[in-house]
Amino acid sequence: MNQPYDYADASQWRGTTILTIRNKDKVVVVGDGQVSAGNTVMKGNARKVRRIAGGKVICGFAGATADAFALLERLEAKLEAHPTQLARACVELAKDWRTDKYLRQLQAMMIVADKKETYVLTGNGDVVEPEEGITAIGSGGNFAYAAALALKEYEKDPEVLARKAMAIADKICVFTNSNLTVEVLEIK
């Protein structure tokens, strides 16, 4: 017998693909718009990629929305305390995330990028700078990541590459859609 779906259980919410691609000219963060609860699409046009720190930092998030926004606010505060030091702000947030009793309960992941650096932040205390200039998170993240790695030899523009990789993830992952939010920072 099927158990009724518990919409309050955040672990059952799916539907995020965030992909970041960086080259010498620009950094692109793209996210899909789908939010699913179990096998039901709850929303198709969520905005999971945002600019913070006066538009100088792009953040994409996966996980519980309220948790992600709580982390986003704290990251902004860390960036105010450490302007132009994205790495330090991320490490300070990760330390708080691991040691604060309230923050430890937050269920989200983030990718943050500025003109110089990109990091993946997790509740495990991870602050990971990706190799290859490509990283992804969320339920469709591995599909988008694999597609971007496969296509990067053939597509040099990070925005075009990101859109193509997300289109592939959309075709494979039922928790990903083609309603994209794309943010770009020009490096030069």
Active site (annotated) includes residue 181: no
Catalytic residue among 16, 17, 20, 118: 16
Q: How far apart are CA 176 and CA 141, in angstroms?
A: 9
| Catalytic residue ranges | 16
